[in-house]
Structure 1
Amino acid sequence: MRESTSEKAAQPVPVVRHEPEESAAASPSADFATNVAPSVSGNEVEILRRRVLELEQTLAHAREHLEWKRQLAAQVQRSLMPNPFRDPRIWVDVRYESIEDVGGDYCQVRFSDRNRLYFTISDVTGHGVGPALLAACLSSEIRYSILYGREPREVVRSLNAVVCDHFSATNLYLTFFVACVDLAERTVTWSGAGHPGPLLVRRRGESVLTLDSQNPMIGIARDILVAKPEHTLPLESGDRLFFYTDGLPETCDARGKRLETAGLAEIALLAASRDLFDVADFVFARVAEHQHGPSTDDRTLLVAEVR
């Protein structure tokens, strides 16, 4: 009868017994240990200790230098952000929070002439230094488009051409929105590229409209403008504009439910009676009440009120 595999696997292992030698000094293992044991002098130990210390100091200096670069990049990025201001015809405030020292959110507020005020806001895909560098590089192109007084659709077209021509190898894309407020005509003309639609809150919170983006994201194709790439609406005294990045409406509660644009619109309506320069704090506080867990994306809010 053949033995089963399990019986073979359970067979006892033979034990070979070694009688102890009469003298421990004659043991082969003792000879082996004596022969291979390293002989390190005190001087060599000190040399090794100093070398380790030097390496630790080098790493510490490298970390400090990297941190200095990150802080410098953060300062540069924040310096590119607009400052709040009060014009007799329009008030503007801005709030920015990044989950890292630097991020891909960026916005501008700039006059092209006495009556035309441009608002731009963008969000580069990803987080950290790469998106921040791209946002900083593109700031000049956006600024020149504004100073030349280009129509919003042409600002989108020009920016997309720059990204496709010079930054396609980065595999970074961005959402973008530009609005031109004509303070003489009391109108807002806008063109968006995949960016969350800003909110237009009519005076005293009578109603809220979403200024939807018409075009796909910047950088995904050479020609992204659709048949009607920009739109215009009239403005009245007391109207407010809320420009923001997706870090705000994508904030989740404990059940994983997003705030969404509708939730942000409700908060904007609740803030209708507040002074404009209190609105950003109010919005961020209400978003924080909805939020469960740490922030996962940068957040930018740009608010303006027609006077």
Structure 2
Amino acid sequence: MRQVRSVAETAQRALMHPLPHRIDALALRDVYLPAESEARIGGDFYEALRTPYGIRVLVGDVRGKGLAAVGACAALLGAFRELVHLEPSLTRIAERPDGTPGALFTERFATALLVEFPPGEPVARLVHCGHPEPFLVGAGRVRGLLPDRPGAPLGLGDLLETAPAVQTVPFGPGDRLLLYTDGFIEARDRRGRFFDLAARLDAHAGRNLEAMVAGLRRDLVRHVRGDLDDDAALVALERLPEAPVAP
């Protein structure tokens, strides 16, 4: 079991590197906490890239654990890293999870959230694929961004015949977006109580981005007393003020 965990952790490190702290006018911070149980490793993934269509971000969670889940993550991340530079439509990326139209995972699927920050526009475009809704922090308040029309998880679109749809929300300087996997909201303490991510985010929202993310990470670890049953991943993004143009 230790050998399996070591191989899975090595594969994950090769697939998922820490995100840069800044891409253009977007600040980023990420957290990845592996499960304590060897049998539950793998499954969570994320990426953020500058593309001709703006900055594009992916956060997701493969159903299933172990080396098979790590392999599915590799396929998804590889396809995303290629398609985001070639495909103008965010929904088309969601429809082509492994790079080919209509292809399905074998007995495996992934929930995901795709986000696009188009250049020169104070908005964020989101495509929900069966994933927990993100939180928007702005104007002193925290709110969940429920999808206008929920989409099917990646790999199940052909079966459910649910076409992905784009949701556009205002996203100006100072606004923040919090993306996460279900490990952050399904973690239980020893009394069986779920971690209240929305409440903890509200408590830390007034801090700078790095302190906010560090506080959420610390709160989760404290909630479960260091014993996570599932992987937990989080990506926080903040729109920075545009730099003034030199005369």
Q: How does the TM-score come out when normalised to structure 1?
A: 0.68
AA at the equivalent of 1:109 = A
Q: CA RMSD in A?
A: 2.7
Give the drift of 1:143: 1.2
User: Partners of 2:184 and 2:135 in 1: how far apart?
Assistant: 13
SS in structure 2 at match of 1:180: strand
Cα pair 1:157 1:225 within 8 Å, conserved: no
The gaps in structure 1 that reach 5 residues or longer are: 1-62
SS in structure 2 at match of 1:175: strand
| Corresponding position of 1:184 | 120
Say which structure is richer in strand.
2
Cα pair 2:96 2:102 within 8 Å, conserved: no
AA at the equivalent of 1:104 = G
Cα pair 1:271 1:279 within 8 Å, conserved: yes
User: Partners of 2:62 and 2:206 in 1: how far apart?
Assistant: 33
| Corresponding position of 1:286 | 219
The gaps in structure 2 that reach 5 residues or longer are: 241-247
Choose from 163, 170, 178 the match for 1:242.
178
| Corresponding position of 2:44 | 105
CA deviations 1:195-239 (Å, max 9, x no partner) are: 111111114x33423243711222235155646712101111111
Higher relative contact order (Cα pairs below 8 Å, separated by 6+ residues) = 2
The question of 1:231 aligning with 2:167 is answered: yes
The question of 1:267 aligning with 2:200 is answered: yes
SS in structure 1 at match of 2:193: coil
Q: How does 1:109-128 map to 2 (within 5 A)?
A: 109-113=48-52, 116-128=54-66
Cα pair 1:123 1:175 within 8 Å, conserved: yes
Give the drift of 1:165: 2.9
Larger Rg: 1
User: Partners of 1:224 and 1:141 in 2: how far apart?
Assistant: 22
Cα pair 1:215 1:224 within 8 Å, conserved: no
| Corresponding position of 1:301 | 234
Cα pair 2:61 2:111 within 8 Å, conserved: yes
Q: How does 1:160-171 map to 2 (within 5 A)?
A: 162=100, 165=103, 167-168=105-106, 171=107
AA at the equivalent of 2:50 = F
Moved over 6 A (4+): none
Tell me the percent identity: 25
| Corresponding position of 2:83 | 145
Say which structure is richer in helix.
1
CA deviations 1:157-180 (Å, max 9, x no partner) are: 111775963632xx1111111010
| Corresponding position of 1:134 | 72
User: Partners of 1:196 and 1:295 in 2: how far apart?
Assistant: 19
| Corresponding position of 2:144 | 209
Q: How does the TM-score come out when normalised to structure 2?
A: 0.84
User: Partners of 2:164 and 2:93 in 1: how far apart?
Assistant: 14
SS in structure 1 at match of 2:158: coil
Cα pair 1:247 1:297 within 8 Å, conserved: yes
How many residues are aligned here?
235
